[in-house]
Each structure stands twice: as structure tokens, then as C-alpha cells.
Amino acid sequence: MKLKIGYLPKKYFNRLPSGCGYPFYVSKNIKYALNIGPMYYPDLPDEQLVLFKESLSSYPFYYLFELRHEDEIYPEIHQNLIATEIVLEKVRQCPTNDFFLVTINNREQLLQFLPCMFWQHNFNMSTLWSNNKHAFIFEEKTWEYNEIRDTVCLKFDQPTSIFWLGHDFMGTDIFSNEEKFSSIEQTIHLLPDFITIEIVEFE
């Protein structure tokens, strides 16, 4: 599999949250922001997708999982997560949706969770995960067009990497203050052998 990797200019994420861009706020003390892609996750064998995620961070993974109240599948997804014995903690209740922190402790749980992750992304909801349980907070922020909304904010007050599955499954953005992402070469060294990399510059 051939992918491209490059650092993201600050102008990509030092802007107001939006539905067409990043639907979250990135704190100012982030050090590194990269994109790896394009990668259409559903086309990958589950085992390769798991290896890719494991190369970026060690367990446990903490997924910020969003469920909208209006979705008919809401009860089914909720029960399926509970049935897998994956730890599911509600961290925010909003008028139209709830946010849960899902703890993934091992490869077996990650394989069980992948269908839920795909479902969430297919409905254009946030798909974020981190190696830090306390990486996500909620604050009122101004979005594009001066709309004030309860917003997911990415924190970097301790060693933290946060990963965002981009729109349409086209790649993974990495936001980090960890030194393992301080150079493209170091990041490439982390990736599994089935991935070959072309270095690019984003403008």
C-alpha cells in the first residue's frame, strides 16, 4: 500500500471549527500535525488496519464515540458496545447527541469495535482517538459564521497524541506533542512494512 505523508501547515487547524473542516478545536500548545493518506479504511483487511493503528500508539486507545439521539440504530449500537464488555463511559450529554469515551485495551477489542467506528464515520460524526484518557474536553467555542457551540477540544497538557479519521475515510491526521512525531523519518519508521511512503508538502 502506497501512502503520502506530510506536516500540516498551522493554517489548516488554527482556524474556527467547522462542519467542512475540523469539527473540533486544537489547543495552541500542539507541536506536530501530520496527515497520512489517502487510506479508505473499509477497503483494508481488518488485520492491516489494526496493525496501522497499533504502529501509531500503544494500548489502551481512548475513542471519543458520538451517538445522535435521532438515529434509529442508537439503541442497537449502544447495546452492542456494552455486549462486547468494552468500557463505555458517557462524558457529555448534549440536546441532540451523547459523547462516550470507549476504552480499547487490546487487539481483540479493537477488532470488535471497528464496525462501530465505520458506522459512526459513515454518518459524518466525530472519529477521534488518543493514547491519553484526558485528551478530550468540552467547551463553548465560536464556529464559522459566529455560531457558538459546545465543542470538542483537544488538550496537550501532557504527552499526548490524538488521531482523527478524515472525511470520507481518506486519511488519518495526527496531532501530537510527542517527540516520536517530530520528524517525518521517525514517523515512517513506526509504520508497518506493508505501507510504503511518499513524502509531500502541504501548502
Instruction: Calculate what percentage of the chain has a pLDDT beyond 90.
Output: 55
Count up the domains in the chain and report the number: 1
pLDDT of residue 153: 95
203 is a domain residue: no
pLDDT of residue 84: 75
Mean pLDDT across 46-51: 94
Say yes or no to pLDDT of 82 above 80. Answer: no
145: left (phi over 0), alpha (psi -120 to 50) or beta: left
165 is a domain residue: yes
Say yes or no to pLDDT of 72 above 70. Answer: no
80 is a domain residue: yes
Say yes or no to pLDDT of 181 above 70. Answer: yes
The rounded distance, in Å, linking the Cα atoms of 140 and 143 is 9
Q: What is the tens place of the pLDDT at every residue in 121-158?
A: 666 566 799 999 999 999 999 998 888 988 999 999 99
pLDDT of residue 67: 76
When pLDDT is cut at 50, 70 and 90, the band that residue 74 belongs to is low
18 touches 31 (CB < 8 A): no
155 is a domain residue: yes
pLDDT of residue 93: 86
Mean pLDDT across 196-202: 95
pLDDT of residue 21: 83
57 is a domain residue: yes
Say yes or no to pLDDT of 169 above 80. Answer: no
**Residue from 24, 42, 37 nearest 130 by CA:** 24
Say yes or no to pLDDT of 65 above 90. Answer: no
pLDDT of residue 145: 84
Q: Give 10's DSSP letter.
A: G
pLDDT of residue 160: 96
pLDDT of residue 126: 63
88 is a domain residue: yes
Report which of residues 34 and 165 the model is more confident about. 34
Mean pLDDT across 21-41: 89
| Alpha helix positions (H), 26-106 | 46-56, 74-83
> For residue 193, what are the domain limits?
2-198
